[in-house]
């Protein structure tokens, strides 16, 4: 069970990094290399698929971790990050514009990654105490 929680935390951190990298690097790559524009990496479908993968991964890892270390503030931190991602993915571009959508996505991904990093550390500390 510990291994599943560790894998889920690390997967969620990686997904947050990919999301952040996508949001920050794709606009520069498309501007610098016009042929990448044909790939359509900035498509909203990418954001929706990422959210669909991130939500269960994050909730699984954080809930398993919180059962171990009993610091439920991390669940609140994760839900805050997930909420920002969901808002950005579904409403960000249309309601607030691309810049705000990008900022919300990067902030949400950073919050989620920080939550998972703390979750992983607390689980490791709890494991060494036992």
Q: Is 15 exposed, middle or buried (0-12, 13-18, 19+ CB in 10 A)?
A: buried
Q: What is the pLDDT of residue 81?
A: 95
Q: Domain spans of the chain?
A: 2-129
Higher pLDDT, 42 or 91: 91
List b or e across 42-60, with b for residues whose CB sees 16 or more CB atoms inside 10 angstroms: beeebbeebbeebeebbbb
pLDDT digits (tens, 9 = 90+) for 88-107: 888 877 888 888 888 898 89
Structure tokens at 4: 């599943």
Q: Which residue has the tokens 């503030």?
A: 73
Convert the pLDDT of each residue in 28-41 to its tens digit.
665 656 655 555 55
């Amino acid at each position: 069970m510990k291994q599943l929680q560790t894998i889920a935390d690390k997967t969620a951190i990686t997904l947050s990094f990919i999301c952040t990298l996508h949001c920050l690097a794709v606009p520069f790559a498309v501007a610098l290399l016009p042929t990448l524009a044909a790939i359509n990496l900035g498509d909203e479908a990418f954001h929706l698929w990422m959210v669909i993968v991130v939500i269960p991964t994050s909730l699984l890892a954080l809930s398993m971790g919180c059962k171990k270390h009993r610091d439920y503030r991390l669940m609140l931190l994760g839900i805050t990050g997930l909420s920002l991602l969901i808002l950005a993915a579904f409403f960000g571009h249309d309601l607030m514009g691309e810049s705000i959508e990008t900022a919300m996505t990067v902030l949400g991904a950073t919050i989620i990654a920080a939550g998972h990093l703390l979750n992983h550390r607390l689980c490791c500390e709890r494991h060494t105490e036992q």
